[in-house]
Amino acid sequence: MTNIDTQRLPIGVFDSGVGGLSVLKILQEQFPNEDFIYIGDNANNPVGNRPTEEITEIACRIAETLHQLPVKLMVIACNTFTVVALDEVRSRVNVPVIGVSQGVKTAIRESNSNTIGIMATVATVNSHIHKHVAMEIDHEVFVWEQPCPELAGLIEQGHLQDDAVREAAKDYLAPMLERDIDVVVLGCTHFPFVRSVLQELSGDSIRYIDPAYETSDLVKRTMDSNNLHNPSTKQGHSTLYFTKDIVLGADLGAQFLDTDNFSVELICLLYTS
């Protein structure tokens, strides 16, 4: 395959369900001439409470499926997959693989009290990746890690504004409001879809950081260094694949993505070797 052929390949983006669409939205805005293939493995969602071996195997199945399509670069648009399976995914494919950023640098910069919160799945919190990164940036910063075991699953079921997601969000926000934490990183790509609910519940007390912007910056640097930018001047197209239910993905896509330039289909994942 020539370099120009590689440049014209799509960028692969994947998640455990619909959450990664929040990352895809930012990538579409930053790279309007690129094509994207998105895989959301909602048949296996949620993954954040599973053993690490299962999480790794699920992530690798998605990555190997994308690799066969093929794509020129992969973005793991899932914090849990990133902290648990990034190294293994990179070992199984021969294209650049970028994990979702932590958003910690932005959070520390924007905090007025040098205290930040992390809302994430149990697996991500247990990895303490956000805290480790924060300590490297500023060893005096206070980091509150808030596990949110039910939130991603609720969002995956379509609970975006109702009482179920509000009650869960209240429980997760309470410890951070008690500690006067003023900046919170949305450490799961599902969480930006309920950002308005979180903001309503916390008022002006908390600012929320979406790490997708830092991730997009890393994608740009990787594409620059590997000469992967698509030379086309046409607007790109996104194909969204889901392994189970395409309804929520189609609904969220219609709300958040360019409705003229994406399609939604079912897909069966490859079995890993």
Q: What is the pLDDT of residues 195-213, one digit of tens each?
A: 999 999 999 999 999 999 9
* Pairwise CA distance, residues 190 & 19, whole Å: 4
The stretch 63-77 carries a mean pLDDT of: 96
Which residue in the list 60, 148, 188, 268 is annotated as catalytic? Answer: 188
* Pairwise CA distance, residues 136 & 112, whole Å: 19
The per-residue pLDDT for 195 is 96
| Mean confidence (pLDDT) of the chain | 93
Contacts of 227 (CB under 8 A, 6+ apart): 3, 7
The per-residue pLDDT for 272 is 53
Strands lying side by side in the sheet with 262-266: 97-99, 73-76, 11-15, 36-40, 238-242, 262-266
- Decide: 47 and 219 in contact? Cβ < 8 Å: no
Higher-confidence residue of 101 and 152: namely 152
Q: What is the pLDDT of residues 118-153, one digit of tens each?
A: 999 999 999 999 999 999 999 999 999 999 999 999
Which residue in the list 60, 78, 148, 268 is annotated as catalytic? Answer: 78
Answer yes or no: 188 catalytic. yes
* CA diameter of the chain: 57
Answer yes or no: 148 catalytic. no
* Pairwise CA distance, residues 89 & 140, whole Å: 33
